[in-house]
Structure 1
Amino acid sequence: MFLFHAQAQDKASVSGVVKSKKNGETLIGASVRVAALNVGTTSNEYGFYSLSLPKGKHVLEISAVGVAIKQLEINLTGNLRMDVALEEANANELQGVVVKSSSTMSGRSLSSTQMGVEKLTMKETKNIPVLLGERDVLKTVQLLPGIKSAGEGSSGFYVRGGAADQNLILLDEAPVYNASHLLGFFSTFNSDAIKDINVYKGGMPAQYGGRLSSVLDIKMNDGNNQDYNVGGSLGLISAKLNVEGPIQKDKSSFLVSGRRTYIDMFLKASKDTAINQNTLYFYDLNGKMNFTLGSKDRLYLSGYFGRDKLGVGKTFALNWGNGTGTLRWNHIFSNKLFSNTSLIFSNYDYKISIRSGSNDVDVFSQIRDWNIKEELQWYVSDKHNLRMGVNAIYHTMRPGEITSSESSNFNNSILQRRYSWENAAYVSDVWKVSPKFNLSYGVRATAFSILGKGDFYNIDADGKVTDTVHYNDGQVVKTYFNLEPRAAASYQLNSSTSLKTSYVRNVQNLHLISNSTSASPTDKWVASTNIIKPEISDQVSLGYYKNLGNNVYELTVEAYYKTMQNQVDYRDGADVFNNDAIETQLLFGKGRAYGIEWLLKKKAGQFTGWLSYTLSKTERKINGINNGEWYNARQDRTHDIAIVGMYQLNDKWTFSANWIFYTGDAITFPSGKYKVDDQVVYYYTERNGYRMPNYHRLDLGATLQLAKRKKFSSELTFSLYNAYGRENAYTINFRESKDDPNKTEAVRVALFKFVPSVSYNFKF
C-alpha cells in the first residue's frame, strides 16, 4: 500500500490546448503521447488535453491530421500547463505522417473502446464527385457503411435500420430538425463553414441522447485569429462566400459564411410567364465568434440561419428553414478538470400559402427548443477519464395552424400547441485497465415531462376517442423516466489488430410522422404523449479492426443486432396532418434490425479511397398492419455498396469517382383494383411487400489547381453525376392503359440522367 501511494505521488500532469499555428483553430482529436512509455491521450472537442506521467524527463509527440508532428522535451517536476501550436504539413510530410502515425491519426483508434464511429474532415470530402457541383457532407456520409441514402439525390439518411427522424443532427451542439435544402437535394451544411464531423452509429457516448439510431455531430470553424481570409465559389446553381479573421490577433476571431442558389434568376430570364413567375431557391448563413478571455476561459458564440423558398406563380408558396444559436463557455478549473457550459436555441418551421381567388389559405407549423447544458471532464489519472453532465430542453411544438381570409370557404383550424421538458443527467468513465484492455461504461438518466395547456385523449383499439382530459397551463400530464446504460470494451490483440464490443440503450421522445415514401419539409414532429410512448432501442455490436500495409490500409468489420420498442407507424388511410388527436391515426409495435458492415480504406499515396459494404435487415411488427406479422420497414435494404476512389495525378490535377449500388427500397404497391361510380380505386394488402428496382450510379470528378500562392489560390472542379445515364426510379405510379382499360400500367419516373457541373473556387 505504501509503495502504491509513493508511486501515485511521483506522477504529475501535463495539460493544455492544441491548436493550428496557421489559423489559431483548436484541433479536435489531436494525439498527445509519450512513445517510450506507450501512453497517450487525445484532445477533446475544444482542443484541451490532459496526460498523467511519472515525474522526470519525457519526449511528448503531438500530431493531428493535416499538420506536422511536433516533438517537445519536458522535465516534469510538477503539474505543467503547455499549449501547443502545430504547423501545417506540406504534401510530402502529410503522406509521411499518415504512414508512420498510430491509428488515432485516421480518426479510428485500435485501443479506444468507441465503436461505430466515422470521422470526416473537409479535406476528405473535397474531391468526391457531387450533384450540381455543391460539396455536401451528408452525401459523403452516405458513402460510409451502415449509413444509407434516403433516396435519389436526398440528403436524408438511414442508420442501422433506423428511420430518418432517429438521427440526432447537431450543429455546434444545436439540434437541426430538417437538414435539407431544395426538398432534400442539398443539405443545410455549408462545407466552407465546417471544421469536423463525427458520426456515431452505435455505442454512443453517454453525453448524447434523444434519438435511437445515430448522432451526427458537426462542429463549425472557429475563425482565423492570425490573418484575414476570403474564400468562395461560383457554381452552376449556387455561389458561396466565406470571410474570417482576427478581431484581436491571438485573442479572438470571427467567421461569416454565406451561400445562395440562383435558380430563380434562370427562371426569371425565361420569356414564358408560366415559368418566370415561379420561385425556387435557398440561402443560408453561418456565423461564429470566439474570445480568449485568459489562460483558463474561452467564449464562443455561433449561429446558423437558412431558408428555402418554393413558389408556383402567385397561387402556391412553400418556405421552410432552420435557425440555431449557441453560446458556449469553456473553463479550465485545473490541469485535470475541464468545463463546458452551453445555452442553445433551435427553431424549425414551415409555411404554406395558397392563393386561389377568394380561397386564400396559410398553413404554419413550428418546433422550437431552448436548451441549457453543463458538462465536466475530469482526467482523474492516466487510467480514468470521467465525463459527467446535465442538460434541460424546453420544447414548444405548433403542429399546424390553418388560417384563411374572411371571404374564404375554408374554416380556420389551429391544432393544439404542445409543451414538454426533456431533462437528462449522465456520467461515463473510460478505464484503461491494461495496455491491451480498455473499458468504458456509463449511464444516462432521462425524464420527459409532458406539460399542459391542452386536451389529452384516451382511445380504444380502433383509434376512437373514448375520453378527453383538459390540463391547465404548466400542469404535468405525464412524466416518462428512463435509464440508458452504455458499455463498451476493446482488446488489442497486437499492434495492428483489435476486437471491440458494445451495448447501448437509447430513448427517443420526439417522433416524425409521415406517410410519404420520402422526407418532406411538411412532415410533422410530435412529442410523446399519454398514448405515444418513448421509443426505446437496445443495440449490441461486435467489431474487428485491422491495420494493414504499414498503416496505409484500414479494415473494419462490425456486426450489430438492435431491438426497438414503441415503434410508430400509421393506420391504413391515415390523415396525419389535420388531426388534433394524432394518436387516433397511429399504431404502435416493435422493430428489429441486424447486419454486418465492412470498410476497407486506403489512406496514403497518390491513390486513396474506400470500399464499403453493408448487409442488413430491418423489420417491424405492429398489430393492425400486415395481420400482425413481421414486415419490411420502409428503410430496409439488403445490400448497400459504395466504392470511392481519388487519384492525385500531379500538383495540378486530381481525379475522383464513386460507384453506388443498393437494393431497391421496400414499398407498398396496389395488389388489385375495383371501380366505384366508374372511378378506379386501388386496394392494398401487404405493407412494404414490394421492392423498387435496384439502384446504381457512377459519378466522376476532377479538380484542376489553377493557382496556389501564399496569398491566393484557385481551382476548377468538374463533376459528372450519373455518368452512364442510368434512369433510376424515383417513384413508380400506376394508371389505366390507354389501349386496354382492363390493364394497369406501372410508370417509372426518373429524376436525373446525366448531370454535368463545374464550379470555380478561390481563397485569398
Structure 2
Amino acid sequence: MKYIIFLFLFILAATKGSLAQDSFTINGVVTDSLSGETLIGVTIKFSNKSQNGTSTNVYGFFSYKLDPGDYTMTVSYIGYRTFSRSITVDSDKRIDINLVPENSIAEVVVTSEKRNDNVVSAQMGIAKVNLSEIRNVPVIFGERDVLKTLQLLPGIKSAGEGNSGFYVRGGSADQNLILLDEAPVYNASHLLGFFSTFNSDAIKDVSVYKGGMPAQYGGRLSSVLDIRMNDGNKKEFTAEGGIGLISSRLKLEGPIVSDKSSFMISARRTYADAFLAFAKDESIRKNTLYFYDLNAKANYQIDKKNTIYLSGYFGRDELGLNETFGFDWGNATSTLRWNHLFSNRLFSNTSLIYSNYNYVIENFIEENNFKVSSSIRDLNLKQDFQLSLNNSHNVRFGLDLIDHTIAPGSITSNERSSVNEETIEKRNGNEASAYISDEWEINDKFNIVYGVRASSFFLRGPGTFNLYDSQGKITNSQIYSRGQLVKSYFRFEPRLSASYLLNGVSSLKVSFTRNSQNLHLMSNSTASSPTDLYILSSNNVKPEVADQVALGYFRNFNDDKYEFSAETYFKTMQNQIEYRSGTDLRGNRNVEADLLYGEGRAYGIELYIKKRFGKLNGWIGYTLSRTERRFDALEQGKWFFAKQDRTHDLSVVGIYKAGPRWTFSSTFVYNTGNAVTFPAGKYQINNQTYFYYSARNSDRMPDYHRLDLAATLEAKPGKKLQSSWSMGFYNVYNRKNAYAINFQDDPDDSSKTQAVKTTLFGIIPSITWNFKF
C-alpha cells in the first residue's frame, strides 16, 4: 500500500508542476442532441495536434490541454454527424457538445469507438457492442440479447445451448466479472439460461475486456463485462418496447427537470406460463414458468461540476411444478453515484453499490416438505479519479472497498416433515484494493497503458473454521468471534498494454495482465446454474491467480471499411479448484474438505475480420485454442483438458441493408464439442450395472453447428409512432445438437450399452413487433 500512496503523491506533485505551465484546458461533456444521453468514447481532435487527440470517458466527459491560439475543434462518433467549430484558446474553457444522430449511416453491430481506434489505441483484447444495432443479429425466440451477441466474437465462447454463461480465453464461467452500472451480477441468466438478465432497451454501452484488463477492474481472472444503463431522455418523453411470441417489454423515459434531470424505467416479462392455461391436463395448467425484470435510473445535474445518478435492477425467475415443487431465483442491484469536477482536468466518481443474489427451492409434499435458501450480498464503496495530467498522460487512480456476506444454505421444514432442518454458517469477508494507471502517448507511433492494482482480502468471523489435510481430514478447528480476523491475503497485480503504429493503418500490440480472485464458484455442472454456490478464500482455499501475455497485429483496409486482427495469448492459472469424486455440494458443511487444488493453462490464437460500412456488413471470428488443468491427486498429476476446452470455434455474421425498410441477417456458428468423460466399460453386481470411466475429460461431445436467419421490416414512418417487425428462424436446418449424452443398458441385451442423446431445440420461428413513440 505504501507504493500506491507514493504514486498518489507523485501525481499530485506532477499536477502542481503542470498547472504552472503557460497553457489552458478545454473540457466539457458530449451528449446526444435528441435525448441528452452522454456519449462514451467520442473522439475530439484539434487542428495541428496529434491524430490521437482525446476521447470522452464513461460519463461523456473530456479534457484537453492547449497552448494559446486559434484551433479547429472536430468531434466525431460513429452514427453521428461530425461536429466542427473554430475556437480561440486564451483561457480555460468549458465547451459542451450536442451531437446529431446520422440516420443515413448503415452501421455494423460491433464497433470500436472511432474508425481507427482498433489500430492506434494501446488497449487490446477489448470489444464494444453498440446496443442500438443488435436488433439485426438473429437469436433464439427473437429476444435481443447482449450476451448472445458477445459470444459471436473470437475468444468468447458460449457455455452451451440454452445457457447464457460464457468462457473467455480458457477461464470458467465464474471467472468473468459482470457489472451493471458498476454493480456485480452473479447469475446473468433467465429461464435456466435461455435469456440473459440484460434488457437491451435499458442499456446504452457494453464493453468487454478479455486481455490487457485496465487497473480499475479486479476480482476475476478472465474478463470484465462492463454494462452501462441509459440515463434517460432529458429532452422529451418517449416510450418504446416490443411484443413477441413469449415475452414483451416496455421502456419509458423523459425529463424530470428539462435539460437537468431525467428518468428511465424499463420492464420485461415472459408469458410462457400463459400458454399453460390452454393445456387439457389440469396438472400442467398449475405449473409456473416465467421471469420478469425491471431496470430504473434517474439523474440530476446540480450544476456544471456535480451530477448525481441513482440506478437499480431487480429480476426474478419463477418455476413451479403442479404445486409440488417451487424454485425461484433473482438479482437485485442498486448504485448511487456522484460525479464531481474538481478542476478542468481532475474528474471524480464516487459510487455506493449494493448487490444481492439469492435463490429458494421448495418442496410442498407434506411428508417431505422443506425449503432451501442461499444468498450472496455485497456492499461496495468505490472512489475513482481521472486526471488529464497533460496531453500525453491520462492518469486514473482510486480505491475500492467491498464487504461480502455469503449464506451458503439453510434447510427449513414443517413439524410433519421427515426432512431435518439445517443451517450452514454464514461467511464474511472484506476486499480492499487501490489502483493507479497511466495512458501515455510517448510519440505519434508508441502508446502504452501501464499501471498496478494492489488488492487485499480479509476473512472474518463469526464462525467455526477448520483446517484440512490433503486427505480432507480436519487437523484443526477454531471458533472466531464477530469481526475477528481469520485469514488475510495480499496480491500485487501489474498491468501493461502497449501499441506500436507500423504505419497509418496497422499496428502491433502487446499486453501483460495479472489478476486475482477471492470468490470461488462451487458447481458440478459444465456452466453456471441458479443453484451454484460461492465460497470465499479461506485458510484452506487460496486466492486464484492468473497471468496472461498477449500479442496482436491490427490492420484496417480501404479507408477503415475493413478491419482485421490476429491476437495470440498464453495464460497460466494458479490455485484452481476441482472436486473429489462423489462430492455433494448441497448442504455440505465441510465442502472445503472435498476440494482439490491445482494449476491451469490456456493458449490460442484469435482471428477476426469485419466489414464495417456499406449495405453488406458483418464479421468472421475464429479461435484455435487449448485449455488444460493439472492436479496432483487427479490423472497421476498429468495435464488433462478442462471441461470448457474447445479446439475450434467459428462465427460468421452477415447483415444486409436491402433498402430503406428491409434488413436481412444471418449467423452461422460451429465449435468443437466440450471435453467430457464417457464410460470406458461396465460391470454388474447383483444385477445392477455400474460404469467405470476413462481418463478425465478425454472424450468429446459431438461438434456443434447451427444457422440462423432473420429479417426486419421497418413500417412506414408515422407522425409519432415508429415501428418494425422482426422475423427469424433459429437453427434453420434443424440440427439436433447434443445437450447431454447419457449411457444405459440396451433393453434388449444388457451386455450392450446405449448412448442416449438429449437435444433442446430444433428449428424455432420467432416474430416480434417493436414500437417507439
User: Do Structure 1 and Structure 2 share a fold, with TM-score over 0.5?
Assistant: yes
Alignment of 1:48-197 (within 5 A): 48-92=61-105, 104-106=113-115, 108-197=117-206
Q: Is the 8 A contact 2:251 2:266 kept in 1?
A: yes
> How far is the alpha carbon of 1:639 from its aligned partner?
0.3
Does 2:578 correspond to 1:585? no
One-letter code aligned to 1:187: S
Alignment of 1:710-725 (within 5 A): 711-725=720-734
| In 1, Cα distance between equivalents of 2:447 and 2:706 | 41
| In 1, Cα distance between equivalents of 2:579 and 2:112 | 46
Q: Which residue of 2 aligns with 1:703?
A: 712
Q: Which residue of 1 aligns with 2:3?
A: none
Does 2:27 correspond to 1:18? no
Q: Which residue of 2 aligns with 1:42?
A: 55
> How far is the alpha carbon of 1:674 from its aligned partner?
1.9
> How far is the alpha carbon of 1:518 from its aligned partner?
3.3
Sort the Cα spacing of 1:473 and 1:434 in 2 relative to 1 into closer, same or farther, 3 A: same
Sort the Cα spacing of 1:71 and 1:579 in 2 relative to 1 into closer, same or farther, 3 A: same
One-letter code aligned to 1:312: L
> How far is the alpha carbon of 1:202 from its aligned partner?
0.6
Alignment of 1:364-513 (within 5 A): 364-513=373-522
Q: Is the 8 A contact 2:247 2:270 kept in 1?
A: yes
Q: Which residue of 2 aligns with 1:278?
A: 287
| In 1, Cα distance between equivalents of 2:191 and 2:359 | 13
Does 2:41 correspond to 1:29? yes
Task: Select the residue among 288, 292, 303 that pairs with 1:294.
Answer: 303
Aligned-pair RMSD on alpha carbons?
A: 1.5
Q: Which residue of 2 aligns with 1:627?
A: 636
| In 1, Cα distance between equivalents of 2:42 and 2:59 | 11
> How far is the alpha carbon of 1:709 from its aligned partner?
3.8
One-letter code aligned to 2:26: V
| In 1, Cα distance between equivalents of 2:653 and 2:633 | 43
| In 2, Cα distance between equivalents of 1:528 and 1:694 | 37
Task: Select the residue among 540, 561, 583 that pairs with 1:574.
Answer: 583
SS of 1:729's partner is: coil
> How far is the alpha carbon of 1:677 from its aligned partner?
2.6
Sort the Cα spacing of 1:330 and 1:698 in 2 relative to 1 into closer, same or farther, 3 A: same
SS of 1:335's partner is: coil
One-letter code aligned to 1:124: E
One-letter code aligned to 1:156: G
Q: Is the 8 A contact 1:29 1:107 kept in 2?
A: no
Give CA-to-partner distance per residue, 1:97-153, whole Å, 9 cap, x none: x9xxx9741584322210100001113311000100111000000000000000013
Sort the Cα spacing of 1:57 and 1:392 in 2 relative to 1 into closer, same or farther, 3 A: same
Give CA-to-partner distance per residue, 1:378-425, whole Å, 9 cap, x none: 100011111000010000000010111111111111111000001110
Q: Which moved more, 1:626-635 or 1:668-677?
A: 668-677
Q: Is the 8 A contact 1:565 1:589 kept in 2?
A: yes
SS of 1:741's partner is: strand
Q: Which residue of 2 aligns with 1:342?
A: 351
> How far is the alpha carbon of 1:688 from its aligned partner?
1.0
One-letter code aligned to 1:415: I
One-letter code aligned to 2:260: K
| In 2, Cα distance between equivalents of 1:283 and 1:207 | 32
| In 2, Cα distance between equivalents of 1:705 and 1:152 | 30
Does 2:675 correspond to 1:675? no
SS of 2:133's partner is: helix
Sort the Cα spacing of 1:6 and 1:419 in 2 relative to 1 into closer, same or farther, 3 A: closer
| In 1, Cα distance between equivalents of 2:57 and 2:76 | 14
Q: Is the 8 A contact 1:103 1:110 kept in 2?
A: no
One-letter code aligned to 1:27: L
| In 1, Cα distance between equivalents of 2:25 and 2:18 | 16
| In 1, Cα distance between equivalents of 2:609 and 2:718 | 35
Q: Which residue of 1 aligns with 2:215?
A: 206
Q: Which residue of 1 aligns with 2:554?
A: 545
> How far is the alpha carbon of 1:626 from its aligned partner?
1.5
Q: Is the 8 A contact 1:104 1:110 kept in 2?
A: no
SS of 2:716's partner is: strand
> How far is the alpha carbon of 1:36 from its aligned partner?
3.0
> How far is the alpha carbon of 1:655 from its aligned partner?
0.2
Give CA-to-partner distance per residue, 1:664-715, whole Å, 9 cap, x none: 0001112222223322122224111110000000000000011324522000
Give CA-to-partner distance per residue, 1:421-444, whole Å, 9 cap, x none: 011100001111111101111100
Segments of structure 1 that go 5 or more residues without pairing to the other structure are none
One-letter code aligned to 2:636: N
Q: Is the 8 A contact 1:245 1:253 kept in 2?
A: yes
Alignment of 1:549-560 (within 5 A): 549-560=558-569
TM-score by length of 2: 0.96
SS of 1:165's partner is: helix
Q: Is the 8 A contact 1:107 1:118 kept in 2?
A: no
> How far is the alpha carbon of 1:550 from its aligned partner?
1.1
Q: Is the 8 A contact 1:359 1:405 kept in 2?
A: no
After the TM superposition, which segments of 4 or more aligned residues of structure 1 sit over 6 Å from their partners? 5-8
One-letter code aligned to 1:49: F
Task: Select the residue among 687, 690, 693 that pairs with 1:684.
Answer: 693
Q: Is the 8 A contact 2:187 2:529 kept in 1?
A: no
> How far is the alpha carbon of 1:6 from its aligned partner?
12
| In 2, Cα distance between equivalents of 1:594 and 1:759 | 41
Q: Is the 8 A contact 2:151 2:158 kept in 1?
A: yes
One-letter code aligned to 1:255: M
| In 2, Cα distance between equivalents of 1:356 and 1:228 | 50
Aligned sequence identity (%): 53
> How far is the alpha carbon of 1:653 from its aligned partner?
0.5
Q: Which residue of 1 aligns with 2:229?
A: 220
Give CA-to-partner distance per residue, 1:591-646, whole Å, 9 cap, x none: 00000001101110000000000000000001211221101001000000000000
Q: Is the 8 A contact 1:107 1:119 kept in 2?
A: no
Sort the Cα spacing of 1:458 and 1:740 in 2 relative to 1 into closer, same or farther, 3 A: same
Q: Is the 8 A contact 2:116 2:556 kept in 1?
A: no
Q: Which moved more, 1:338-347 or 1:62-71?
A: 62-71
Does 2:18 correspond to 1:9? no
One-letter code aligned to 2:90: T
Q: How many residues align?
A: 754
> How far is the alpha carbon of 1:357 from its aligned partner?
2.4
Does 2:321 correspond to 1:309? no
